[in-house]
Amino acid sequence: MHKLRVAIVGASGYSGEELLRLLLAHPNLELTCITSRQEAGKPAGAVFPRYRECQLRFIQPDVDQIAAQADLAFLALPHGLANEYAAPLLQRGLKVIDISADFRLRSLEKYARYYQSEHPAPELLQEAVYGLPEYYRQDIRQARLVACPGCYPTSVLLPTLPLLKVALVETGGIEAFSMSGVTGAGRKLAAPFLFPECNESLRPYAITGHRHLPEIEQELALAAGVKELHINFLPHLVPVNRGIHSTILMQAKNEKAGEQALECLQQAYQNEPFVRVLGKGELADTKNVTMTNYCEIGCAYDPHTGKVILSSAVDNLSKGAAGQALQNLNIMAGWPEDCGLR
């Protein structure tokens, strides 16, 4: 069988490394090209000693070179570079799966507000598909350009969307408390991410305007069929390497609705390969999903306040980034969705 040739553009961060891990093990793919400005020239194993056996070398992120070597490119770049990579790669006939935030928001205004710069490629926004397979599978199948969801949004949307779609819960007063491992911050050389600063530290950050907030609100509003919807999204940094846990509160429409929530989730996801809805009384634990592409979801109803309490766990680098990106690729290529992901 002819293998699909893929490139990772911006492969020297944690998401890039996780993509490397997954793509090297995928039976239908040939990873032909990994780029990195600062690591160009070095073999993969010199940057990621885990993958010492990998023969690839980092190259400079030159669009023509990438296009010459690959049929599809994963972009694991900072946001804001869409016109430098996504646009020209599409033009050269590649498909693009973007792990950055450039094509997640439908509103140019919100992009500009939350990312503090004009959108780099507004002409592509229309065609970009939000890469949450459980909700956009049909569109992903045809897509040339997929915008992979953020790690936090993945952990918040999967447990909440089914309940909003069937209106078991109110659209107001949704609160999402999330905890993330430190790889979520990327491989950033900044004092707050040094080991002694993170270890034995529990801290919130960006509690009133995290960049994942408008992304979450956009998808919640779409599911609820409302124009706009506001939530509190409260991210916390905690001393683990991998994993995001979200606990989400939603007001049940009424007691009966609250008690139906768990069953609603179980039905919604019964055929999904990567969503595990836990049994009654069970709660999500990141430990059970790290290094996998699963999202684990627990659901309880609290009659004392009328809230549905959701707990979800994903690996921020896998289902929250590289794993989901590969799941999207499998869909685009018409392969089994879990190919290379077990």
**Phi, psi for residue 111 in degrees, rounded to 5:** -55, -50
- Cβ atoms 268, 194 nearer than 8 A: no
CB of 341 to a copy of itself, least distance (A): 12
The reply to whether 106 sits near a copy of itself by the rule CB under 8 A is no
The reply to whether 113 sits near a copy of itself by the rule CB under 8 A is no
CB of 250 to a copy of itself, least distance (A): 11
In the chain, the N- to C-terminal Cα span, in Å, equals 21
- Number of residues near a copy of itself (by CB under 8 A): 70
Spatial CA neighbour of 76 closest among 145, 7, 138: 7
The residues near 195 (Cβ < 8 Å, ≥ 6 apart) are: none
How far is Cα 10 from Cα 236, in angstroms, rounded to an integer? 26
The residues near 13 (Cβ < 8 Å, ≥ 6 apart) are: 76, 186, 187
Q: Cite the active site residues.
A: 151
Q: Which is nearer to a copy of itself, 52 or 256 (CB)?
A: 52
Map residue 308 onto helix, strand or coil. Answer: strand
How far is Cα 263 from Cα 266, in angstroms, rounded to an integer? 5
- Cβ atoms 323, 341 nearer than 8 A: yes
Helix (H) or strand (E) holding 256: helix 255-268
Question: Which structure tokens are listed for 306?
Answer: 């009328």
The reply to whether 27 sits near a copy of itself by the rule CB under 8 A is no
**Phi, psi for residue 243 in degrees, rounded to 5:** 120, 140
DSSP state of 21: H
Spatial CA neighbour of 18 closest among 59, 55, 48, 54: 48
CB of 98 to a copy of itself, least distance (A): 23
**HSE (CB half, 13 Å, CA atoms) of 297?**
31
**HSE (CB half, 13 Å, CA atoms) of 272?**
24
The reply to whether 189 sits near a copy of itself by the rule CB under 8 A is yes
Q: Where does this chain touch a copy of itself (CB under 8 A) — which range of 78-86, 183-191, 263-271, 319-327?
A: 183-191
Question: Of these, 86, 101, 224, 234, which contacts a copy of itself (CB under 8 A)?
Answer: 234
The reply to whether 286 sits near a copy of itself by the rule CB under 8 A is yes
| Cross-strand bridge partners of residue 302 | 307
Residues of span 197-226 touching a copy of itself by CB under 8 A: 197-205, 207-209
Spatial CA neighbour of 35 closest among 4, 81, 74: 74
The reply to whether 173 sits near a copy of itself by the rule CB under 8 A is yes
Q: Which is nearer to a copy of itself, 80 or 243 (CB)?
A: 243
The reply to whether 171 sits near a copy of itself by the rule CB under 8 A is no
The reply to whether 58 sits near a copy of itself by the rule CB under 8 A is no
Residues of span 305-324 touching a copy of itself by CB under 8 A: 305, 307, 309, 311, 313
CB of 202 to a copy of itself, least distance (A): 4
Q: Where does this chain touch a copy of itself (CB under 8 A) — which range of 77-85, 256-264, 285-293, 319-327?
A: 285-293
The reply to whether 177 sits near a copy of itself by the rule CB under 8 A is yes
The reply to whether 242 sits near a copy of itself by the rule CB under 8 A is yes
Question: Of these, 1, 55, 93, 196, which contacts a copy of itself (CB under 8 A)?
Answer: 196
The reply to whether 28 sits near a copy of itself by the rule CB under 8 A is no
Binding stretches for a copy of itself (CB under 8 A): 14, 25, 49-50, 52-53, 173, 175, 177, 179, 181-183, 187-191, 193-205, 207-209, 230-232, 234, 236, 238-245, 247, 249, 276, 283-292, 298, 300, 302, 304-305, 307, 309, 311, 313, 342
